[in-house]
Amino acid sequence: MTDRTEPRRGRPGYDQQGILDVAVGVFNAHGYDATSMGMLASSLGLSKAAIYHHVSSKEQLLEMALGRALSALEGVLDASHERGDALSRLSFVLTGAVKVLVDELPSVTLLLRLRGNSEVERAALTRRRAFDHAVTQIIVEAQRDGSLRDDVAPGVAERLLFGMVNSLAEWYKPGGPEDAERLAADILAVALEGLRAH
């Protein structure tokens, strides 16, 4: 994975990654569909035509951002296989997903708002559903071994857990009062123990 923040060498104008970073920010601010190449151009301080020197289409920008987000999430799932019992794996995935959301907030935010309006969007949604399904299987296992209550359907539990995690895209502000580890701990605490005082 290339480092987005490293300043480039020759440094005349933008490179593709620089275009992408700005584009994802504007996509998230106004929504992908509501963002025109003209808005993108003025955010970049370029003409519309100049953007097409770096990318072939608006949709290619979307595709690159979605690939980044999905790879990061899938990486968490892959790493979780090394873990022991199902509850440990679930905790690891939730914590990892929060970290991904915080680290890759722009691209994941874009992913979470997809409507499936094009082939690119539908392919991303399919990959995302596979992720959700894999997490649901971990929950099934944890219910089976008795570490999670089984009176909540595993699919519902998965969606509620990621409802909390994914809500970060709507309200987490980098540099705010809460850091990623604290948020991950809060979410895990609510998910496993609940909010009621003991």
Partner DNA sequence: GTCTATAAATGGATAGAC
Partner DNA sequence: GTCTATCCATTTATAGAC
Taking each helix axis as running N to C, give the angle between helix 180-193 and helix 86-103, from 0 to 180 degrees, rounded to the nearest 10.
Answer: 140
For position 75 contacting DNA by CB under 7 A, the verdict is: no
Closer of 39 and 50 to its own copies (Cβ)? 39
CA 46 vs CA 9, 11, 13, 96: distances in Å: 20, 15, 9, 37
Asked whether position 167 contacts its own copies by CB under 8 A, the answer is: yes
Using the rule CB under 8 A, is 198 a contact of its own copies? yes
CB 141 within 8 A of CB 86: yes
Choose which of 38, 115, 144, 190 interacts with DNA (CB under 7 A).
38
When CB distances are held under 5 to 8 angstroms depending on the partner's kind, the choice from its own copies, DNA, none that residue 195 binds is: its own copies
Helices 105-112 and 16-30: crossing angle in degrees, nearest 10, is: 50
Residue 139 contacts residue 154 (beta carbons within 8 Å): yes
Task: Choose from its own copies, DNA, none: what does 156 bind? Cβ within 5-8 Å by kind.
Answer: its own copies
Q: Tell whether residue 175 is a contact of its own copies (CB under 8 A).
A: no
SS3 153: coil
Question: Which listed option, DNA, its own copies, none, makes contact with residue 164 (CB within 5 to 8 Å by class)?
Answer: its own copies
Instruction: Pick from 22, 140, 165, 184 the residue near its own copies by CB under 8 A.
Output: 165
